Amino acid sequence: MKKPILNIDEVEKELNKAEQYEDIENQGQFLQTIYLGSILSLTPSGKIYTPWTNSNLEPCTRCKGEGKIKNKHKSTKNVDAIDRKIRRVANDWVKPYATLTKRQQQLIDKLRKIREHYDEWKTCPECYGMCSLEARLDEDWWKQLESELEQINAWYHGSEGDGCDIMISRVAADQTEE
């Protein structure tokens, strides 16, 4: 079990105290919102970036930012043999994968899995192919935050002001109880 990010009871208490306001996008529904903190101090990397501007991230040391590493089980002979087997199962790909029978698809999936084991490259186990460990840890963090908030039917989002703000909202409690 991972260490929780939130003290969920405290978050819920704070939300209970927060003022209710009408949702602009969904009139008649009232929300409660609290400020959780800054991306800069809460996320593992403490950095702000978008997928198209991640130059401020440290490249993964394991794969040097390539997202893949040389496979020490590499075997061209085995890969070739498996490729031949896959082609045989797929009847030389006269039909696309989606139109093959379930049994053929399962067999091909299994062979592809084995093929990965002998392929020249494999996805970096450190950064999951994201090329930066920071990016991967951040992604894990956001996912965990999301799932912790789901327990109290809340969600995270940004604010209109500071781009670093992490806000938490939920539908006002006395509305959901109706």
Q: Which residues bind Zn ion (CB under 5 A)?
A: 60, 62-63, 124, 126-127
| Shortest spacing between CB 110 and Zn ion, in angstroms | 27
| Shortest spacing between CB 2 and Zn ion, in angstroms | 21
Looking at the Cβ atoms of 62 and 113, the one nearer to Zn ion is: 62
Terminal-to-terminal C-alpha distance of the chain: 35
Looking at the Cβ atoms of 22 and 58, the one nearer to Zn ion is: 58
| Shortest spacing between CB 58 and Zn ion, in angstroms | 11
Looking at the Cβ atoms of 62 and 84, the one nearer to Zn ion is: 62
Looking at the Cβ atoms of 72 and 103, the one nearer to Zn ion is: 72
Report which residue type is found at 61.
T
The CA–CA distances, whole Å, from 84 to 88, 99, 104, 115, 128 equal: 6, 20, 14, 11, 29
| Shortest spacing between CB 20 and Zn ion, in angstroms | 45
